[in-house]
Structure 1
Amino acid sequence: MNPRYVVETTKSPDQAVADLEASVKQHGYGVLHVYDLKATLASKGFDLPNACHILEVCNPKQAVAVLTADMGMNIALPCRISVYQDGGKTLIGMARPSALLASLSQAEELKAIAEQVEKDTIAIIEAAK
């Protein structure tokens, strides 16, 4: 299985971000922060030719479960969902939580949590695309 989950949308990056933020909330998650990578790099004097927004999203219940099982997994939190342009297309993507956590831990309780978070975040993306 591909460790990335990426879908194409016909929406503009800004509309996709807005719809993604709404979908995150509808699925019981929260948006902690939205990075506008293009704007941030421009403020540092670098031109990124394509839009790139990174949303940090979290479900507090799942985060506590992960950190209770293995505090070291804080390096994998929060989940990130990106909205970006590439090749003239607007894409929404993420690293699959199951692949990310599997690369960092073999704990069975984390595997189950990662699979549920992955199912949730895919539903979030599908509803927003």
Structure 2
Amino acid sequence: MTYYHARTLETSFDDAVTRITAALARQGFGILTDIDVAATMKKKLGLDIAAYRILGACNPEMAAKALEIENKIGTMLPCNVIVRESGPRWVEIAAINPLASMSAVGNPRLDQVATRVDALLRAALDSA
């Protein structure tokens, strides 16, 4: 089982960010954090890397269910979604596979929540 799901789009970087943000919203996710990795690498290390952002997506309903089952699951939240420039006019979007990450917790009661979150994230990726 891979730890992420990914899709590559032929579009601009900014359009990909807009598309995945809207697709996540349609699945009940909001963006809690937006980290511009490329800007941070430039500022802190002087490195020039391709455009790369990490969006911290949260579906409050699913987060509440997970927290009811496992009160320290917040260490694994929010669900990270990356948008990464992979070539001229090509952008990869990838999301964590919650089934893989939650399996590390060892609480089988989380399986149902992880399965639902996985389906929501995949639907967002597919529709972006």
Q: What TM-score, normalized to structure 2? A: 0.91
Query: 2:118 matched to which residue of 1?
Result: 118
Q: In 2, distance between residues paired with 1:48 and 1:57? A: 26
Q: CA deviation at 1:104?
A: 2.1
Query: 2:101 matched to which residue of 1?
Result: 100
**Backbone CA RMSD of aligned residues:** 1.5
SS of 1:126's equivalent in the other structure is: helix
Matching of residue 25 in structure 1 with residue 25 in structure 2? yes
Q: Deviations over 1:65-100 (max 9, x none)?
A: 111111121111010100102355411112200000
SS of 1:50's equivalent in the other structure is: coil
Q: What aligned pairs does 1:8-87 form with structure 2 within 5 A after superposition?
A: 8-86=8-86
Runs of 4+ in structure 1 off by over 3 angstroms are: 86-89
In structure 2, stretches of 5+ residues that fail to align are none
Q: In 1, distance between residues paired with 2:45 and 2:75? A: 29
Q: In 2, distance between residues paired with 1:67 and 1:20? A: 25
Query: 1:5 matched to which residue of 2?
Result: 5
More deviation in 43-52 or 112-121? 43-52
Identity %: 27
The answer as to whether partners of 2:3 and 2:97 remain within 8 angstroms in 1 is: yes
Q: In 1, distance between residues paired with 2:50 and 2:115? A: 31
Q: CA deviation at 1:5?
A: 0.9
> Amino acid of the residue matched to residue 100 of structure 2?
A
Q: CA deviation at 1:121?
A: 0.5
Q: What TM-score, normalized to structure 1? A: 0.90
Q: Deviations over 1:14-68 (max 9, x none)?
A: 1100111111112111111211110122122421421111111111111111111
In structure 1, stretches of 5+ residues that fail to align are none
Cα distance change on mapping 1:67 and 1:86 into 2, 3 Å: same
Q: In 1, distance between residues paired with 2:28 and 2:71? A: 23
